[in-house]
A and B are shown apart, each in its own frame.
Chain A
Amino acid sequence: AQKVTQAQTEISVVEKEDVTLDCVYETRDTTYYLFWYKQPPSGELVFLIRRNSFDEQNEISGRYSWNFQKSTSSFNFTITASQVVDSAVYFCAPRGGIFGAGTRLFVKA
């Protein structure tokens, strides 16, 4: 059985704070991909990043960074110096059709 858990339902931070969103994916598969998507208040779903289970190297893209640890089944997403425009729901998705419950991020000015 596969299970994806985003334990944080809502997070509220003040602008410029760093924030980390957690995702745990439990599977017996030895190879897999993990994805993060963003859904801003406007409602569209936007792809952010894809990582494969072979690659545990952290990735940084501007203010975004991702930490994948296969040993703990965690694929966490950090936003550095958060901005109001980062306010959205963030979904962790192991593969097509399987999405976590999402974490709603509020960034206050």
Chain B
Amino acid sequence: DAGVIQSPRHEVTEMGQEVTLRCKPISGHNSLFWYRQTMMRGLELLIYFNNNVPIDDSGMPEDRFSAKMPNASFSTLKIQPSEPRDSAVYFCASTTLRGAHEQYFGPGTRLTVT
């Protein structure tokens, strides 16, 4: 099994630019999570999908952030326009049943907005 795949692994962009992060969950997993990790705020849940449907997006910081899951094998997290405070490591994770089964995390995308 390839595990959760995220791309790109590193992204450096200028303030105001659009950023798109991508995630491919483990095949057969029906729950997908996007997290953001910073030194100041720790690991924060941004959004959670179940069977491709967004269930909880209360963690999305503001309208500049949007996430989609068009099918069971692909999800995107978009930031438009990006700001320096968006600099963080963004993780995608998947699992078979939220709350009962462990999550498998991707390697993360380190985003730097200058």
Contact = CB atoms under 8 A, between A and B. Distances in A.
Contacts, number: 47
B101 interface: yes
Interface string A83-109: 000000001010111110110000000
Q: Could you say which of B42, B43, B91, B107 has the most chain A C-beta atoms within 10 Å of its C-beta? A: B43
B108 A96 contact: no
Q: Could you say which of B48, B89, B105 has the most chain A C-beta atoms within 10 Å of its C-beta? A: B105
Nearest to B44: A99
Interface string B96-114: 0011111111011000000
B107 A96 contact: no
Interface stretch (A11-19, A41-49, A57-65): A41-49
B18 to A, nearest CB: 25
B42 A95 contact: no
A99 B46 CA distance: 12
B95 A96 contact: yes
A43 B33 contact: no
Which bracket fits the contact residues of B? 20 to 34
A45 B35 CA distance: 12
Nearest to B107: A44
A84 B99 CA distance: 32
B43 A102 contact: yes
Contact of B99 (A33, A37, A47, A91): A33
Contacts of B95: 96
Interface of B: 31, 33, 42-43, 45, 48, 56, 59, 89, 91, 93, 95, 98-105, 107-108
Given A98-B45, A101-B42, 4 more contacts: A33-B100, A91-B43, A97-B56, A102-B42
Interface of A: 32-33, 35, 37, 43-47, 50, 91, 93, 95-99, 101-102
